[in-house]
Homo-oligomer: A and B are copies of this chain.
């Protein structure tokens, strides 16, 4: 892309930050006011930026200005589930506490959701207050970490499907593995596989 003059760069930065903060692009006059110049001068700058391919303007439309370059990288809105109930619609909007924009490269699969970890059973790999990303799938490979629903309680465990039944095991040795006979295993529903963990280390005593 063609190089910008210093002045044009500051104008572009202003437009980018305005969009980010306000949620809508600035008008010609707002750009002018920000730099203490006349609208006409601002038009010249915006025209230069358009000519060099940094933004697009819809003629005649107020705020008809959109950024081309920067491009808010490919993001996917991933729902953070507050609670998980046995009631079918897992991703129903009532359960969605908020939705976080994550880079597409992190989101593996179509149906994914985030969950805030509560127990210590998966320590030290997964700790309380971690955010885990879960891909919805009803089966996981042996030994993989999954979200299992047991009587309306969602838990994070490694899953071992064996001839003798189903074993759900935490990494934390303080927790005894849960064993289910083939009959009982029907009450256990695998909601999905844990494909990622995010941990915030700010203001924590222990990692």
Q: Which residues of A contact B (CB under 8 A)?
A: 20, 22-25, 27, 56, 58, 62-67, 70-75, 77, 99-103, 105-106, 108, 124-126, 143, 145, 171, 194-202, 206-207
Contact = CB atoms under 8 A, between A and B. Distances in A.
A108 B145 contact: no
A70 B76 CA distance: 12
A111 B103 CA distance: 19
Contacts of A106: 100, 198, 200
Nearest to A132: B201
Contact of A124 (B58, B105, B124, B200): B124
Given A25-B23, A66-B24, A67-B23, A72 B101 contact: yes
B23 A56 contact: yes
Contact of A63 (B24, B74, B201): B24
Contacts of A72: 72, 75, 77, 101
Given A56-B23, A196-B201, A100 B73 contact: yes
B66 A23 contact: yes
Contacts of A201: 145, 194-197
A66 B106 CA distance: 26
Contacts of A23: 25, 56, 65-67, 71
